[in-house]
Amino acid sequence: MADPVVDTHAADAAHGADAAHAAAAGGEHAASFPPFDPSLFPSQIFWFVLTFGALYLIVSTFILPSVSTVLAKRATVLKSDLDVAAQKSAEADAARTAMEKATAKARAEARAMVDAARADVQAKLAAEQAAAETRLADRVNVAEARVNEARAKALADVPSIANALARDIAAKLVPANG
């Protein structure tokens, strides 16, 4: 088996020989990068123009029409979606307005019902209060009549009680002679 160090030197020597041979044959051509070689510019420009023209033809014929079709469809869908959204928004606003009106009407009806119930209760309460006042006035009148009757009776008995009392006092003050 060969020594690796010797093989590496052999490869370098062969490469060096090839480089020297190329330099002798073409001079500058072997030492420069092919795309930057001025002698190759005409063929590079020809292939560039041919490739660019073919790509332009393919893109303008096949790719751009499909892209513009997709963009047109997308714009149509977007416009229709925006129109539907605007319509739904208008419907939602109308529904909200109708709901607010219905709520206001329901509140007004509820307030009217509460006011009517309050008025009814107040009327019943006033009627009951008037009836109670009438009953109390009747009782007061009956009680006053009893008191007046008892007073009249008591006042009618006062002279006889006063006479009896005066006799008892006089009897105790004046000793009986007996």
Give per-residue pLDDT as tens, 106-138: 999 999 999 999 999 999 999 999 999 999 999
Write down the pLDDT at residue 177: 61
Write down the pLDDT at residue 35: 83
| Confidence tier at 32 by pLDDT (50, 70, 90) | confident
What is the C-alpha radius of gyration for the chain, rounded to an integer number of angstroms?
Answer: 66
- Least-confidence region, from 12-26, 41-55, 60-74: 12-26
> What is the 3-class SS of the chain, one letter each residue?
CCCHHHHHHHHHHHHHHHHHHHHHHHCCCCCCCHHHCHHHHHHHHHHHHHHHHHHHHHHHHHHHHHHHHHHHHHHHHHHHHHHHHHHHHHHHHHHHHHHHHHHHHHHHHHHHHHHHHHHHHHHHHHHHHHHHHHHHHHHHHHHHHHHHHHHHHHHHHHHHHHHHHHHHHHHHHCCCCC
Q: What is the mean pLDDT of residues 69-75?
A: 96
| Burial label, 32 (beta-carbon count in 10 A; 0-12, 13-18, 19+) | middle
Measure the CA–CA gap between 30 and 23, rounded to whole angstroms: 6
Q: Can you tell me which residue has the tokens 């002279």? A: 159
Q: Can you tell me which residue has the tokens 């023209």? A: 53
- Least-confidence region, from 3-12, 37-46, 143-152: 3-12
User: Is the whole model's pTM more than 0.75, yes or no?
Assistant: no
**Per-residue pLDDT tens over the stretch 80-97:** 999 999 999 999 999 999
Q: How far is CA 111 from the centre of its chain?
A: 28
Measure the CA–CA gap between 162 and 68, rounded to whole angstroms: 135
Q: Which amino acid is at 103?
A: T
Whether the predicted pLDDT of 27 surpasses 70: no
C-beta of residue 13 within 8 angstroms of C-beta of residue 21? no
Whether the predicted pLDDT of 26 surpasses 80: no
Q: What is the mean pLDDT of residues 159-173?
A: 87
Write down the pLDDT at residue 134: 94
Largest separation between any pair of C-alpha atoms in the chain: 200
